[in-house]
Amino acid sequence: MSISVIVPIFNAEKFIEETLISLSKISKEVEEFIFIDDCSNDQSIEILEKYTNKLDNVKIIKNKINLGVSVSRNIGIKEAVGEWILFCDADDLIEKSIIVKYQEVIEKENIHMIYSNYIQIDNMGKRISSIMKGQTLTAMDGFCEMVLRNTIISPSGCLVKKNVLVEIGGFDKTIKVCEDVDLWLKILLKKNIIKHCPSVSTFIRRHRSNTTNEIIKANLGEKYILEKYGLDFLEIEFLRRNQSIDKNILDYTKILMRFNKFNKALKLIETINIYESSILFDEYLFQKAILNIKVEAFEEAKEYLNEIIKINRQNGAAINNLGVLLAKENKIVEASTLFLKAISIFPNYLDAAHNLAILNENQDDYKFTWRELRSELITYIY
């Protein structure tokens, strides 16, 4: 199988050399490297040209004006001769055995895209997270899962069939946030399979940034996705999945909540009964709790949250949310204990850290957590 590596570049002089060194270790397994400079005004291109002798079959494309990462990647896709496209950002690192590991999977299964686990690193290359794990996503079930949980797939390390990318029109150049999530959803809409490889094959760099802006961008991206597909389409797809009726309805109430249809979601969730013996029980109680918070039925919400914590003392989101409700009742000691507990379970838990920080400041700017937490949280660098 032939592979083209596509690397968009914009003012990456601090990291491009390290990225190039990592790419040189896979040069024998790939057909070509395509670098697209998006009008950088630093030394990125000079560094790139210095190191291209360590790579075979290099193409350097220079945009005349800054076009953005989506257009730059699309230019690379158009120019690529490989059957498969491997994406890599100009500040991330690729593990040397990535191609071999992917080939082993592709030879056994009919898939259209594959990605791996990754580890986050900081500007100095220091590891700042444990392994960030993914999952295989299949056609419309995978589409719904990504809409629901936004399975975090970084472009770096993703290997995608070129004909699939061409068929769906590549990255949407009209959007500035979540362009990668939008692409993965378009791939799944075509009933393709996005395969997860359980090895760590990429190192994703997290930069010092305005955490608030990062979260705002993520929320805007989710809003765009929801508006793009609409509630009617999502209702059909969620309720006809090859899952149990209870699971389909439970997940659809989460979609209703994002469209601010809280009362409708509450009525719908009352049509199902999920018992303690079910693996969905925690999730069911948590959804009932946050829906009651949304309609300001706080006593009912506290009952559900307390029940969750009795069953699962590691449910950080339930612990945080109960802490907020107690803080609003001015039960400061009890709330503080809960926030500290949540942070001890999830050290990168921003909501709980924020709530603890303002607890004694007579503010009412507490943050509820509206979704159960991932096992590994994204690390933000301040």
Q: What percent of the chain has pLDDT over 70?
A: 96
Distance CA 116, CA 231 (A): 31
Q: Phi first, then psi: give them for residue 296, nearest 5 degrees.
A: 65, 30
Flag whether pLDDT at 171 surpasses 80: yes
Helix, strand or coil, per DSSP, at residue 79: helix
The domain locations on the chain are 3-227, 274-358
**According to the model, what pLDDT value does residue 54 have?**
73
Q: What are phi and psi of 369, to 5 degrees?
A: -105, 120
pLDDT level of residue 176 (50, 70, 90 thresholds): confident
- The dihedral through the CA atoms of 95, 97, 101, 102 has a sign that is positive
| Residue from 300, 305, 304, 330 nearest 320 by CA | 305
User: How many C-beta atoms lie closer than 10 Å to residue 350's C-beta?
Assistant: 17
What confidence score (pLDDT) does residue 148 get?
Answer: 93
- CA torsion sign for 209, 381, 90, 160 is negative
Q: What's the rounded Cα separation, in Å, for the pair 325 and 306?
A: 11
Alpha carbons 52 and 54: distance in angstroms, whole number: 5
pLDDT at 248: 98
- Residues 177, 168: Cα–Cα separation, whole Å: 18
Determine the Cα–Cα distance for residues 373 and 318; give it in Å rounded to an integer. Answer: 9
CB 88 within 8 A of CB 157: yes
The enclosing H or E element of 236 equals helix 211-239
Looking at 133-137, 184-188, 359-363, which range is the least confident one?
Answer: 359-363
Mean pLDDT of 220-240: 94
Cα of 349 vs its chain's centroid, Å: 16
User: Which contacts qualify for 296-299: CB closer than 8 Å, 24 or more apart?
Assistant: 298/325, 298/328
- Name the band, by pLDDT with cuts 50, 70 and 90, for residue 364: confident
Assess whether the region 3-227 and the region 274-358 belong to the same CATH fold: no
15 alpha carbon, distance to own chain's centre: 23
- What CA–CA distance (Å, rounded) separates 301 from 288? 7
Please provide the average confidence, as pLDDT, over all residues in the chain: 93
End-to-end distance of the chain based on CA atoms, in angstroms?
42
**Binning pLDDT at 50, 70 and 90, where does residue 168 land?**
very high
Q: How confident is the model at residue 353 (pLDDT cuts 50, 70, 90)?
A: very high
Predicted pLDDT at 374: 77
Q: Give the distance between the most distant pair of CA atoms in the chain.
A: 67
Of the candidate ranges 45-59, 265-279, 306-320, 345-359, the one whose mean pLDDT is the lowest: 45-59
CA distance 220 to 34: 31
Looking at the domain covering 3-227, what would its CATH class be? alpha beta
Is 70 exceeded by the pLDDT of residue 382? no
Both tokens of 215, joined, read: 């979260």
Q: Is 62 helix (H, G, I), strand (E, B) or coil?
A: strand
Q: What is the token pair recorded at 270?
A: 């009352």
Average pLDDT over residues 188-200: 96
Which helix (H) or strand (E) segment holds residue 246: the answer is helix 245-258
Beta bridge mates, 3 = 84
- In whole angstroms, what is the distance from residue 62 CA to residue 9 CA? 10
Q: 80-135 pLDDT, tens per residue?
A: 999 999 999 999 999 999 999 999 999 999 999 999 999 999 999 999 888 999 99
The CATH architecture one would assign to domain 274-358 is Alpha Horseshoe (1.25)
More confident residue, 348 or 56: 348
Q: Which two tokens stand for residue 370?
A: 């509206």
